[in-house]
Amino acid sequence: MAADDAQLLERLLAGEQKAFKELVSTYQSAMRAVAYAIVGNRHADEIVQDAWLSVVRNLSGFEGRSSLKTWLLTITANSAKSRYKQNRREVLLDDLPSPHGTIDDDRFSSSDGHWLVAPFAWHQDTPEALLTESELRECLEHTLLSLSELQSSVLLLRERQGLELEEICNLLEISLSNVRVLLHRARLKVFATVEHFEETGEC
């Protein structure tokens, strides 16, 4: 167990309210992404609430064999799977339409998957540049909402939460190849939105 986890766990076990607030603010979004992928938007918040109750009840039994983050996400995934076991969805790789479609694989290097030519380069801190970034962020959020539940969750768990692909596989109980496809297709749609915004300045 990492030193930061050990320190936070000690504070949690001591009943420090500030520690619980830190725990929730740090991991709530990742837990919701896991719940969303398994049960969908309608029940995700209920699952997360159930997971937090389970965390509080079982905190004293946490043995540190994994990180706190992995433990929390596993509890969330298990809560979702047990509650909605009979309604378990199969992984669908069919794409839903996104606002600006997608882009072709040939825009990327075959060796490392990076852009051959980057789509944009806004690095200035001018008011105009910051406004542009804010507008683009809104466009990207709109695109994320258009993705399938699994695509959106895999993308968020990988890009925002920094989970390894194998961790995502274990949490969502889908194969590594499916995770790769879901992530790749989601990224292509996000990149299409970026290119559209760069060309038109609009969502």
Confidence (pLDDT) at 107: 63
pLDDT in tens, 67-126: 899 999 999 999 988 876 544 444 555 566 677 667 666 666 656 555 565 555 444 555
Side-chain-facing half-sphere of 116: CA atoms under 13 Å = 9
Tokens linked to 186: 């989601």
More confident residue, 84 or 199: 199
Q: Report DSSP letters for 42-57, one per residue.
A: HHHHHHHHHHHHHHHH
Q: At what angle do helices 127-146 and 176-200 cross, to 10 degrees?
A: 140
pLDDT in tens, 22-77: 999 999 999 999 998 888 888 899 999 999 999 999 998 988 888 899 999 999 99
Confidence (pLDDT) at 133: 74
Confidence (pLDDT) at 161: 84
Would you say 54 and 79 are in contact if contact means Cβ atoms under 8 Å apart? Answer: yes
Confidence (pLDDT) at 201: 78
Number of H helices, E strands in the chain: 8, 0
Q: What is the mean pLDDT of residues 138-162?
A: 86
Q: What is the mean pLDDT of residues 142-162?
A: 86
Q: What is the mean pLDDT of residues 171-200?
A: 87
